[in-house]
Structure 1
Amino acid sequence: MTDHNLAAVNDVVKGGPAAPRDPVDKRSSFYLMFESIVEATARPDGRFSQEIYLEGRQFIDKVLFTGGVTDESILQLLTECTGFRRLVHSIGISVKAQDGDQASAWFAMENWGRTRKCETGTKLRIKVPTDGTEAILVLEEQEWSPDDDVPGKMAIEFDRQGALGTASIIFYLHDGYQVQAVEHESPVDYESDAYRALLAKSLLSEGNNDRLKAAIEKAKRGEDVTIAYIGGSITQGAGAKPINTESYAYRSYMQFKQMFGQVGRDHIHLIKAGVGGTPSELGIVRYDRDVLRDGAVKPDIVIIEFAVNDAGDETNGVCYESLALNALASDNRPAVILLFSVFMNDWNLQDRLSPVGTHYGLPMVSIKDAVVEQFSLRTDEGRIISKRQFFYDIYHPTNAGHRLMADCLAHLFAETDQAHPVSEDIIIDKPPIIGNDFVGTKLLDRNSSLEGLVTIEPGSFTATDADLQMAEMDDHPYGSPQFPNNWMHTGESGGESFRMTIRSRRLLLVYKDSGSSEFGRAEIWVDGLHTRDADPHEINWTHCTAVILYNEPVAREHTVEIMMASGQSDQKFTILGFGYVE
């Protein structure tokens, strides 16, 4: 592995004491990031960084919408390291730190290796000023690993968690390559009639307003009201800087407080329970712990956001409908709002999931309906916000995008407040539109009370994994480890199977994905039959995956055995927990 830690950037800093060896300003160029807000998040290696992942389609898609590059021959060169170096002459990095005490930052670049993805490729880490001066990294002057396969990620690093700045990353191209300059975009006019009309388009359905009006009236009386958000990385706040106060969840919670809170407004409370890269199949396992806080909280409003995550739900909507019903069935009659976010490619699962809202008369807000049609327009044709303004990357909104999402929810709140009340509650005791198999799912982990329900013999799965997926919950700026009460097999713990006997109708396994070569596959056996393999490298980053082990109409006793696959006993595997329906 090639790993460089350079104190200078090839001795080339535009505007600094050393003159560029090559007039990069005269080269054709395109941006990977342009004046994007970056935030230092704590990483497992002890660094604090904003990471930009490039694998798969992420590099190409980001260049498409940030850099405006549409030439397929150029985009194809970005798919592997040799092509990237053939195309790119040098990289310009500029960082403007929000904190004047932050004298410098670091730019990091990692290529994934052919032999071991995250370990054998080139790693560069170079110092850059934080006053906005552009530093230049000339690629041909670096030493590259012969094992480089594809560009993996880039990062802007700071010396402390939570540090904020504005960063641009520009690629200057070799002679012979030309790209078109990106057009200038006007700032979003949040006070315009056109913006208000855009918000109105997001209201897919007001639904039965009985429960939401009840929560609003409760807030107006000065009583305690809790708004809960559950979803994926967008609900977690990805793309928002800082993540804890600029996420759509926090912003819409604050808007609700401003609209309906009484003196002090401290009777309005927030629960934010978004976990990146996870579908409602995991959300249904997390609901009691992360939203209800194991029975300590009864939210008055629950906003569900899985419209861009549920491609990974193997039940194709059953877990989503079950999650909505789980929330609706609470004895305090919470309002449930379905929120449909959208990816940069204009995709979401609204067509699959919105029938759940229609079936139960739930309020629904569609970000897709609000923004996608106008994305294709020019400013003079009626575009209010562009894709570059709305999206931080191909998946997540910028601060402007998060603000728009919050404004769409606030529009629903305002419309509901003014609407004539519906006199009857929604009806949930009726046949489901997709399925309700997983209503009542409970989390089982190492801390659960097992008496009378479960017998566990951990075998060689006796360690506890502390290197876990992190998520910023509620209004916290720091990440909380997901599923810390787990069972981990290590290469030194032996070869015995994890065995569990449980009486239930349905069972989900939650296990850890990892990009580390130290992790290996496990075999899952149910009642003596090999049910499936669990491969932590299918996702290949530290992440939580939920899979169904069985789904039966009647509860009975089952035996579950988890063992390392053949030849994998010297590897690691982590069972994060289980979700079961009695």
Structure 2
Amino acid sequence: MADHGTTAANETEGPAAPQDPAVGRRGLYILYETMIEATIRPDGKYTQEIYLDGSQLVDKARFTGGVTDETILELLKSSSGLRRLVDCIGISVHAHERDVSSALFTFWNWGKANPYETGSRQTITCPANGTETLLVLDDDECRYSDDHVPGKFVLEFERGGALATASIVFYLRDGYQVPEVAADPPVDVESQAYQDMIKKSLISPGHNKRLKAAIEKAKRGEPVTIAYIGGSITQGAGAVPLHSQCYAYQSYDLFKRRFAPAADSPMRLIKAGVGGTPSELGIVRYDRDVLREGEVQPDIVIVEFAVNDAGDETKGNCYESLVLKALRADHKPAVILLFSVFVNDWNLQDRLAPVGWHYNLPMVSVKDAVTEQFRYSKEQGNVITKRQFFYDIYHPTNAGHRVMADCLGWLFEVTDRSSIDEEDLTDVQSPLIGNDFALTKLLDRRNGDRFARIDPGGFSDIDTDLQTAEMDDHAYGTPQFPHNWMHTADSGKHSFKMTIRSKSLILVYKDSGSRAFGTANIWVDGKLKKTADPHEVNWTHCSAVILYNESKSEEHVVEIQMAEGHEDKRFTILGFGYVP
């Protein structure tokens, strides 16, 4: 099975092994009773992809399989090591619909020559009735000499939207032992222990006048809009189906069911999460994705960047600017700060919560709710295990998204029960970290000529292979920054030039794993400001970088030119965020 039209250097159909290789052997679970969904890919196939590169396979072995043996973890870091360790892979797929009879499983190794276009692939057809199928691995180093690291597992179905529960387990060769994995009891969301866990999430109810106003509007049957902006967790990653099981939809639905007088009450969900992006990009797209260019005036805005903002160059300035951009709107929305968490119990709450305290905003921490009880056994008071909460090391499962929604629901309930704070909150105090980017506007091919003088030069094409995100309650992905400028192999050497008057400027460009993309140099007023390499992240992704941030607005000349030796490569300028 090929992805995005690529051709494997070594693709084989793996025969089903006889059942006895796994009998009586303890397996290392990489995926354990996990919900998956077949979604359409750019190549037209319906798949669920489980990525293994970077630290992802090791993290899955550690957190899903309970492995602490460093020898085993080290072997999982390379294709050759994995083949020395693993005898066969067990795949179990249990479809939720009767019309889904099978799935095609592919184990894909990234190649040395070109990670995403070479390397071996082994495929096997698995029945979708829960029966385990075994894919035997060959440890012949010569046969797989181009394999570098384990790349991904792919489960392909015949139609989109197919739902299934899947497990993937490594059966190890002689001499290696892993802990036994016991099934977790179901999470009892009606228990007092669950409710007590949820209540720990409320850092502060904050000043409640704006949130109570939204609740009262809903009770009167008036239109209420709840908006969410953040990274991949807000997009819904890990939820299956994503559009209806993500925390944003679940908490919006909870708010509606709790406060609206009828099922058809006029409430609207605005969901604007984009995977792998910090508030540095959020501030650029806020007007477009949340306010919908002035069409939407949300009553509630929930900001979730607690696990994405490690990539924020401003260390909180863009985050506080985004909060203030929402808070200072004429329609006075309630602004809620939401702090999600990674599987290693990490987030940036210590950096970002002081912004909430500074403006007396409601704050909800999923980290505060779940991390302490993760350390407990069931007898000691564990409510939900990490394996139940996390789909992978970054994203929640459906159960994890439910916890996040219930944490927001507790804030809604506490606010509803509380007396109203009569005076509106104030944002006239000096910023805590900074507000340099609060007035940021998006500039792209669609509107650029109104605000700047632009000569696209060799960046005259438009890139249509873009990062997508499921917005609002949509099951389909929306391409991000479609009004862009792209350099191609046939564009020539002429640079992109823009003259603009502004205080600050953020460049948004496309990352890519394709070798067709190359490096570009960015010059500001004749000085080299940055060399942008789209392979630093190495997947189709929006990357934001600050080109300048000054105290007053002045005219600047920005020039973007392909680096020497990369003139025949592609590079996509997705857009700019500028402060007039």
TM-score under structure 2 normalisation? 0.97
Which stretches of structure 1, 4 residues or longer, exceed 4 Å deviation after superposition? 141-144
Deviation at 1:94, TM superposition (A): 1.0
Task: Indicate conservation of the 8 Å contact 1:39/1:164, yes or no.
Answer: yes
Q: For residues 526-545 of structure 1, give each alpha carbon's deviation from its aligned partner in whole angstroms, at most 9, with x where no partner exists.
A: 00000001100000000000
Q: For 1:341, give the aligned amino acid.
A: S
CA–CA distance in structure 2, aligned partners of residues 82 and 272 of structure 1: 42
Deviation at 1:45, TM superposition (A): 2.3
Task: Indicate conservation of the 8 Å contact 1:2/1:145, yes or no.
Answer: no
Task: Indicate conservation of the 8 Å contact 2:222/2:265, yes or no.
Answer: no
My pick for the range that moved more, 507-516 or 35-44, is 35-44
Q: For 1:129, give the aligned amino acid.
A: P
Task: Indicate conservation of the 8 Å contact 2:469/2:478, yes or no.
Answer: yes
Residue 341 in structure 1 maps to residue 313 in structure 2: no
Equivalent runs, 1:381-460 vs 2, <5 Å: 381-448=380-447, 450-451=449-450, 453-460=451-458
Deviation at 1:448, TM superposition (A): 1.1
Q: For residues 27-81 of structure 1, give each alpha carbon's deviation from its aligned partner in whole angstroms, at most 9, with x where no partner exists.
A: 3311100110001122222222111111121111111111111111111100111
Residue 564 in structure 1 maps to residue 569 in structure 2: no
Task: Indicate conservation of the 8 Å contact 1:40/1:158, yes or no.
Answer: yes
CA–CA distance in structure 2, aligned partners of residues 96 and 177 of structure 1: 29
Task: Indicate conservation of the 8 Å contact 1:49/1:156, yes or no.
Answer: yes
Task: Indicate conservation of the 8 Å contact 2:29/2:61, yes or no.
Answer: yes
CA–CA distance in structure 1, aligned partners of residues 86 and 235 of structure 2: 34
Deviation at 1:284, TM superposition (A): 0.4
CA–CA distance in structure 1, aligned partners of residues 30 and 385 of structure 2: 16
Equivalent runs, 1:159-558 vs 2, <5 Å: 159-448=158-447, 450-451=449-450, 453-558=451-556
Deviation at 1:141, TM superposition (A): 8.2
Q: For residues 437-472 of structure 1, give each alpha carbon's deviation from its aligned partner in whole angstroms, at most 9, with x where no partner exists.
A: 000111111111523x20110011111111111110
Q: For 1:361, give the aligned amino acid.
A: N
Could you say what secondary structure the match of 1:251 adopts?
helix
Q: For residues 466-503 of structure 1, give each alpha carbon's deviation from its aligned partner in whole angstroms, at most 9, with x where no partner exists.
A: 11111100000111111111101011111110000111
Could you say what secondary structure the match of 1:397 adopts?
coil
CA–CA distance in structure 1, aligned partners of residues 484 and 98 of structure 2: 42
Q: For 1:530, give the aligned amino acid.
A: L
Task: Indicate conservation of the 8 Å contact 1:27/1:174, yes or no.
Answer: no
Q: For 2:210, give the aligned amino acid.
A: R
Deviation at 1:147, TM superposition (A): 1.3
CA–CA distance in structure 1, aligned partners of residues 165 and 11 of structure 2: 25
Task: Look up the match of 2:49.
Answer: 51
Q: For residues 127-155 of structure 1, give each alpha carbon's deviation from its aligned partner in whole angstroms, at most 9, with x where no partner exists.
A: 21111111110002889531111111112
CA–CA distance in structure 1, aligned partners of residues 530 and 11 of structure 2: 42
Could you say what secondary structure the match of 1:244 adopts?
helix
Deviation at 1:125, TM superposition (A): 3.0
My pick for the range that moved more, 170-179 or 242-251, is 170-179
Task: Look up the match of 1:4.
Answer: 11
CA–CA distance in structure 2, aligned partners of residues 11 and 309 of structure 1: 41
Deviation at 1:86, TM superposition (A): 0.3
Task: Indicate conservation of the 8 Å contact 2:80/2:139, yes or no.
Answer: no
Which ranges of structure 2 fall in alignment gaps of 5 or more residues? 1-7
Which ranges of structure 1 fall in alignment gaps of 5 or more residues? 13-18
Within the candidate set 48, 51, 64, 1:66 is matched to: 64
Q: For 1:356, give the aligned amino acid.
A: V
Deviation at 1:111, TM superposition (A): 1.2
Q: For 2:537, give the aligned amino acid.
A: I
Within the candidate set 33, 39, 46, 2:31 is matched to: 33
Task: Look up the match of 1:145.
Answer: 144
Could you say what secondary structure the match of 1:178 adopts?
coil
Task: Indicate conservation of the 8 Å contact 2:16/2:136, yes or no.
Answer: no
Task: Indicate conservation of the 8 Å contact 1:122/1:144, yes or no.
Answer: no
Q: For residues 404-427 of structure 1, give each alpha carbon's deviation from its aligned partner in whole angstroms, at most 9, with x where no partner exists.
A: 000000000000000111111111
CA–CA distance in structure 1, aligned partners of residues 143 and 152 of structure 2: 15
CA–CA distance in structure 2, aligned partners of residues 175 and 137 of structure 1: 17
Task: Indicate conservation of the 8 Å contact 2:15/2:124, yes or no.
Answer: no
Could you say what secondary structure the match of 1:26 adopts?
coil
CA–CA distance in structure 2, aligned partners of residues 123 and 570 of structure 1: 30
Could you say what secondary structure the match of 2:138 adopts?
helix
Q: For 2:194, give the aligned amino acid.
A: Y
Could you say what secondary structure the match of 2:462 adopts?
coil
Identity %: 62
Q: For 2:350, give the aligned amino acid.
A: D
Change (3 A) 1:576 1:449: closer
My pick for the range that moved more, 540-549 or 137-146, is 137-146
Deviation at 1:123, TM superposition (A): 2.2
CA–CA distance in structure 2, aligned partners of residues 519 and 341 of structure 1: 33
CA–CA distance in structure 2, aligned partners of residues 478 and 123 of structure 1: 28
Change (3 A) 1:407 1:144: farther
Q: For 1:252, give the aligned amino acid.
A: S
CA–CA distance in structure 1, aligned partners of residues 154 and 166 of structure 2: 10
Change (3 A) 1:232 1:76: same
Task: Look up the match of 1:102.
Answer: 100
Deviation at 1:5, TM superposition (A): 5.5
My pick for the range that moved more, 219-228 or 258-267, is 258-267
Could you say what secondary structure the match of 2:379 adopts?
helix
Task: Indicate conservation of the 8 Å contact 2:492/2:567, yes or no.
Answer: yes
Deviation at 1:265, TM superposition (A): 3.6
CA–CA distance in structure 1, aligned partners of residues 143 and 355 of structure 2: 52
Change (3 A) 1:144 1:134: farther
Task: Indicate conservation of the 8 Å contact 2:466/2:479, yes or no.
Answer: yes
Task: Look up the match of 1:133.
Answer: 131
CA–CA distance in structure 1, aligned partners of residues 485 and 448 of structure 2: 15
Could you say what secondary structure the match of 1:358 adopts?
helix
CA–CA distance in structure 2, aligned partners of residues 144 and 36 of structure 1: 32
Deviation at 1:23, TM superposition (A): 2.8
C-alpha root-mean-square deviation of aligned residues, in Å? 1.3
Task: Look up the match of 1:16.
Answer: none
Deviation at 1:551, TM superposition (A): 0.3
Could you say what secondary structure the match of 2:503 adopts?
strand
Task: Indicate conservation of the 8 Å contact 2:110/2:120, yes or no.
Answer: yes
Deviation at 1:509, TM superposition (A): 0.4
CA–CA distance in structure 1, aligned partners of residues 124 and 496 of structure 2: 45
Task: Indicate conservation of the 8 Å contact 2:257/2:263, yes or no.
Answer: no
CA–CA distance in structure 1, aligned partners of residues 369 and 534 of structure 2: 37
CA–CA distance in structure 2, aligned partners of residues 470 and 517 of structure 1: 20
Change (3 A) 1:3 1:467: farther
Change (3 A) 1:468 1:37: same
CA–CA distance in structure 1, aligned partners of residues 160 and 304 of structure 2: 27
Q: For residues 159-178 of structure 1, give each alpha carbon's deviation from its aligned partner in whole angstroms, at most 9, with x where no partner exists.
A: 22222111110100001111
My pick for the range that moved more, 355-364 or 122-131, is 122-131
Could you say what secondary structure the match of 2:64 adopts?
helix
Could you say what secondary structure the match of 2:338 adopts?
strand
Change (3 A) 1:511 1:449: closer
CA–CA distance in structure 2, aligned partners of residues 541 and 2 of structure 1: 21
Task: Indicate conservation of the 8 Å contact 2:448/2:454, yes or no.
Answer: no
My pick for the range that moved more, 94-103 or 284-293, is 94-103
